């Protein structure tokens, strides 16, 4: 393809990608504040300065837009500083990860809102949220098992590991909600205290 023609092709494509990213960002804020049921396409379109048809063109439906929003949320939260750590270091890094929400309240607000709504199997985000929790529990269990095998903590049976990682997940979710309700909550100190107590209880070193 001649360079000029290639440039013309890339131009509209890049514009379309930027517009899609803009729409997803606005939808994140709207769904985070009002939930899926309360966050209308009309509100999203008005805030984006587009019409309803533009949203449908990009995402097909409101459910399609929610899927795109959750996928973007997942992408951002995966890149949260946990990729390069394992074993007990994974757990020790969690306070920093939770504290990072102070710079991006919208992501935590979105997850908390949609996760509560998606407890219903009829909710379009149910499968995504269920899979996300399953994946998160498996990741935590894997790192805890790694710490056991490395001799960094006492032996824990698979049943004990499952209980521990579910408790960890409950604490992370609970502290996130408390911070959303009261931004003065010291989320870093609170999660650090829990992590240190848990590692000590496991006989960690």
Q: Check pLDDT > 80 for residue 194.
A: yes
Q: Same structural domain for residues 90 and 173?
A: yes
pLDDT-based confidence at 19, cuts 50/70/90? confident
Burial 6-42 (b: 16+ CB within 10 A, else e): eeeeeeeeeeeeeeeeebbebbbbbbbeebbeebebe
Per-residue pLDDT of 153-163, as tens digits, reads 999 999 999 99
Q: How many residues does the chain have?
A: 205
Q: What is the pTM of this model?
A: 0.80
Q: Same structural domain for residues 134 and 179?
A: yes
Q: Same structural domain for residues 134 and 92?
A: yes
Residues 76-79: contacts with CB within 8 Å, 24+ apart? 76/104, 76/107, 77/107, 77/111
Per-residue pLDDT of 35-85, as tens digits, reads 888 889 999 999 999 998 899 999 999 999 999 998 888 887 766 667 789
Among 204, 192, 84, 102, residue whose Cα is nearest residue 144: 204
Q: Same structural domain for residues 44 and 120?
A: no
Q: Same structural domain for residues 65 and 84?
A: no
pLDDT-based confidence at 13, cuts 50/70/90? low
């Amino acid at each position: 393809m001649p360079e000029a023609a290639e440039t013309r092709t890339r131009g509209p494509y890049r514009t379309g990608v930027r517009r899609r990213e803009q729409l997803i960002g606005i939808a994140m804020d709207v769904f985070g504040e009002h939930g899926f049921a309360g966050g209308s396409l009309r509100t999203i379109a008005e805030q984006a300065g587009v019409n309803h048809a533009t949203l449908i063109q990009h995402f097909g439906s409101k459910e399609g837009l929610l899927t795109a929003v959750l996928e973007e949320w997942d992408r951002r939260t995966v890149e949260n500083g946990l990729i390069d750590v394992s074993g007990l270091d994974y757990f020790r890094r969690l306070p920093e990860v939770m504290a990072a929400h102070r710079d991006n309240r919208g992501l935590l607000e979105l997850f908390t809102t949609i996760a509560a709504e998606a407890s219903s199997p009829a909710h379009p985000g149910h499968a995504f949220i269920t899979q996300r929790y399953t994946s998160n529990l498996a990741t935590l269990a894997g790192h805890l098992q790694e710490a056991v095998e490395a001799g960094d903590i006492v032996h824990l049976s698979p049943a004990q590991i499952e209980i521990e990682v579910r408790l960890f997940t409950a604490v992370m979710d609970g502290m996130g909600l408390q911070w959303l309700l009261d931004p003065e909550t010291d989320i870093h100190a609170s999660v650090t205290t829990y992590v240190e107590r848990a590692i000590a209880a496991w006989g960690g070193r």
